Structure 1
Amino acid sequence: MSSLFSKQAIIAGPGFNRWLVPPAALSVHLCIGQAYAFSVFNEPLSRVIGISSPAADDWKLTTLGWIFSLAIVFLGLSAAFGGKWLEKVGPRLTMFVAACCFGGGFWVAALGVHLHEIWLIYLGYGVIGGIGLGLGYVSPVSTLIKWFPDRRGMATGMAIMGFGGGAMIGAPLSVLLMDHFKSAESVGVQESFLVMGSLYMVSMLIGAFTIRIPEPDWQPEGWQAPQIRNKMISSQHVHIDQALKTPQFYLLWLVLCLNVTAGIGVLGQASVMIQEMFKGSVTPAAAAGFVGLLSLFNMGGRFFWSSSSDYLGRKNTYFVFFVLGALLYASVPTLGMHGNMPLFVLFYALIMSMYGGGFATIPAYLADIFGTRFVGGIHGRLLTAWSTAGVFGPVLVNYIREYQLAQGVAKADAYNVTMYIMAGLLVLGFIANLLIRPVHEKHHIQHQEFDELDGNFPRKTS
């Protein structure tokens, strides 16, 4: 059994079609992307006892809000600690564990609904499911980069686009299942959790057992690695632990954190914001459509910008994010003041495309700076920036808005200061990106060290 999960067992043979790897990655990312749609369960969960309306003993929405927060926290923690393990054992075992945790987390959460014990839902979806999220997120990334050395950005974009699109499948699937299972005795959440956990586990297991990794130093047929003229693309490799000793890691951490902070805070308030800034002109249904449009641009931007970075370069792509993003954020208050809704919607759609693009471009950026050998583990450590931004962004937007309202500022103008602060954060991101330089050669792994650090790939001798 152990041989089935070893790295040696999943080395692709001659003639393997590398285009079979992206579907394996998508089969995982389209599942775990459901996390973005978990909010559809909150309202039904608030009336598990009362069924038609909340009863006295039902959970409050503030209590239920912690389920998603826990999942994101454990996503970051498991990615940070599991990334190094991923490089040691390979993507199959990591994806297998991710499938068991994410699917099994739904089952434990279903038990929590049945027993009406909120701690079991926290444990199931928040902790166990969150671990599955983190391991599933990082598992395919380094593999794709190794299969597509000629298109690193496109490769990571294909998988991470799936995470952005997972909610577009998860939300309607959740609603469909709850409608099917609801009755006079049930809101349908418990049964939906059991079915979704099973479906997601099967899909992720298919990805785990179809994933393959290339031989060391494999190259696409007919392709030769070009002479590297861009000093920002390294042909050397840096070990996971050594990467933490470089200033480049922390600058890239800031680059990701600031880009995500600026986007995620607004994303959570998009519906309320457009209704308040254009009071009387936007209905709740239209605001929901606005949120859906932002989700589409978030997903599409992951593929478009990461693929574009193969031609623009990763550093230049982030320069576009920071310069264009800052200009767009700084322009939003003026658009609201003049009631220019079409440009307002367009500007936010572009902002969300760059928000998603930042997630998809960062793995290729890491591969350029630190090499491809340990990029999965390094990417996992860097995702703590996402966990930080996931807390900092919404808090920043919500508290500044409340302060503005307390000072007597009209609701339509309560976001103006926030938009300028977001623009300022992107300026800081521009500076951090500007400071990134190639890693000093003292951090590079020497060839004779590969045997010890990557023991499943013994170097061939002639």
Structure 2
Amino acid sequence: MARFTKNRWTSAIIPALLIHIPIGTVYCWSVFKQLIADQLHASPASVEWGFSLAIFFLGMSAAFAGPMVEKNIKKSALISMVCFVAGFAGTGVSIALGFLPGVFICYGAIMGAGLGIGYLTPVKNLMLWFADNRGLATGIAVAGFGLTKAIASPVMEYLIGSIGLVNMFYTLAVVYAIMMLVGFLLIRRPAGWVYDPATSYVSRVSILKKPVFWGIWLAFYINITCGLALISQEKDILHDVLKAFPQYAPLSPSAFAAAISGIIGLVLAVDSVLNTAGRVGFSTLSDHLKRRETVYQVIFVISIAVCLLQVCTNSIDRALLWAVLMMLFLVNAGYGGGFSTLPVLLDQHFGTKTVSTTHGLTLSAWAFAGLSGNQLASFVVTHAPDQAHRYAALIPVLIVLFIIALISVSLVKAAGKRVAVA
């Protein structure tokens, strides 16, 4: 056993972070999307497709890259680095040329492919190196993806202010290339592990035929969709709540905007921290539970409870701020926890030998949620009968979706128990 634990930090955790931290900057899109729109004389709505395509290609590339990751982790790490860095730098070139389709191609398709392959690459490796604490290991690595926004956003803002938007892309492309190259050089499987095609290969069709897979896929998809729907409305939610506070009434429009901006900045920072804490905390909790589905049940019950709490306080006293913040923070933590707990849940049902393939296929839910989450929120708030508090119409929809997700994962848990008994 000692040979499997020797150097596991330098062979698994550190390279995972060196890969996941750069690709996690996809969540920093809001820092520069308006600047891209201004520089290319395009509407923010049209530019937004760059991010949507990045998430879509992330999920779809992961869905197809699983077997490659199973077979050759070095190859997948290298391909991820090349695609991500080329796409990130290419985005800068596209902006410099004033070519919006180039942003879609580079940031969306090329960088998106690097995101998916890079996200998938370290996961099984961590589960092999940390066989006794698989949830904790994957949680720590995936936490790097979630925490990046808090770290990289101020760095990007500083670079944009000092050297400009295009040069920011070039500079960080070099930094990320170095980080991911070191990750590529360090990452390796445990000594004694050998790829066995006979046991490691699994037909994607056979996986897709299993109802358990679709139960997990649906629960994962709903968790991401609800998280993105709520996150996309955070500014409007806080604006609607705070404008009802009497202490803000005397403020001029500019002073009110400044106050809102400061509060939103603080909330987003806390969101990032709690997203990261959720990734580590929920996955670590799964290590101490008999059934991994229990963590998803906890996530969905908490999410339903805080959404119901917000609805109740809104009907009683104009949406108390503490209830709104509790909803935002805990749903965000569960959003992060759903990502980190997914690999060990799939391991429980399909086995470690094929986890890269099953994990990749399940991440296709991320691709579709990336397209549907924001659109769902936009549709609901646009058609809300009370436009003064249009965000409130979104909460009941989220409650219904979380209930469906809870039912889905509960059925998966029941099926797993039957198999275990048999």
Normalising by structure 2, report the TM-score. 0.88
Identity over aligned residues, as a percent?
Answer: 30
Q: Aligned in 2, Cα 1:76/1:278: closer, same or farther, shift over 3 Å? A: same
1:119-268 alignment runs, 5 A limit: 119-181=101-163, 188-215=164-191, 239-241=202-204, 242-268=206-232
Cα distance in 2 for partners of 1:319, 1:153 equals 16
1:376-391 alignment runs, 5 A limit: 376-391=356-371
Aligned to 1:24: 15
Q: Aligned in 2, Cα 1:14/1:41: closer, same or farther, shift over 3 Å? A: closer
Cα distance in 1 for partners of 2:17, 2:137 equals 11
Aligned to 2:240: 276
Amino acid in the other structure paired with 2:312:
T
Contact map agreement 2:139 2:284 (CA 8 A) in 1: yes
* Greater per-residue helix proportion: 2
Q: After the TM superposition, which of the residue ranges 97-106 and 284-293 deviates more from structure 2?
A: 284-293
Contact map agreement 1:271 1:291 (CA 8 A) in 2: no
Aligned to 2:262: 285
- 1:65-97 residue CA offsets vs partner (Å, 9 max, x unmatched): 111111111101111111122112x22110111
Q: Aligned in 2, Cα 1:148/1:14: closer, same or farther, shift over 3 Å? A: closer
Aligned to 1:374: 354
Q: What is the Cα deviation at residue 280 of structure 1?
A: 4.3
Aligned to 2:410: 434
Q: After the TM superposition, which of the residue ranges 319-328 and 57-66 deviates more from structure 2?
A: 57-66
Equivalent in 35, 41, 52 of residue 58 of structure 1: 41
Cα distance in 2 for partners of 1:29, 1:249 equals 25
Contact map agreement 1:271 1:290 (CA 8 A) in 2: no
Aligned to 2:254: none
- 1:317-350 residue CA offsets vs partner (Å, 9 max, x unmatched): 1111122211211221222342421232123211
Contact map agreement 1:34 1:166 (CA 8 A) in 2: yes
Larger radius of gyration: 1
Contact map agreement 1:257 1:386 (CA 8 A) in 2: yes
Q: What is the Cα deviation at residue 391 of structure 1?
A: 2.1
Cα distance in 2 for partners of 1:119, 1:397 equals 26
- For the residue of structure 1 that corresponds to 2:42, the secondary structure is coil
Contact map agreement 2:230 2:328 (CA 8 A) in 1: no
Aligned to 1:99: 81
Cα distance in 1 for partners of 2:21, 2:147 equals 6
Cα distance in 1 for partners of 2:417, 2:267 equals 42
Cα distance in 1 for partners of 2:4, 2:323 equals 52
Q: What is the Cα deviation at residue 424 of structure 1?
A: 1.1
Contact map agreement 2:306 2:326 (CA 8 A) in 1: no
Amino acid in the other structure paired with 1:428:
I
Cα distance in 1 for partners of 2:327, 2:44 equals 32
Aligned to 1:316: 294
Q: Aligned in 2, Cα 1:102/1:146: closer, same or farther, shift over 3 Å? A: same
Q: What is the Cα deviation at residue 393 of structure 1?
A: 2.0
Aligned to 1:411: 388
Cα distance in 2 for partners of 1:135, 1:439 equals 32
Contact map agreement 1:298 1:352 (CA 8 A) in 2: yes
Q: Aligned in 2, Cα 1:295/1:240: closer, same or farther, shift over 3 Å? A: farther
- 1:102-153 residue CA offsets vs partner (Å, 9 max, x unmatched): 1111222222122111122221111111111001000000111111111111
Contact map agreement 1:336 1:344 (CA 8 A) in 2: no
- For the residue of structure 1 that corresponds to 2:185, the secondary structure is helix
**Alpha-carbon RMSD:** 2.2
Q: Aligned in 2, Cα 1:426/1:372: closer, same or farther, shift over 3 Å? A: same
User: Structure 1 unaligned runs (5+)?
Assistant: 1-11, 49-56, 182-187, 219-235, 442-462
Q: What is the Cα deviation at residue 14 of structure 1?
A: 7.2
Contact map agreement 1:238 1:371 (CA 8 A) in 2: no
Normalising by structure 1, report the TM-score. 0.81
Q: After the TM superposition, which of the residue ranges 277-286 and 196-205 deviates more from structure 2?
A: 277-286
Q: Aligned in 2, Cα 1:15/1:410: closer, same or farther, shift over 3 Å? A: closer
Equivalent in 343, 348, 354 of residue 363 of structure 1: 343
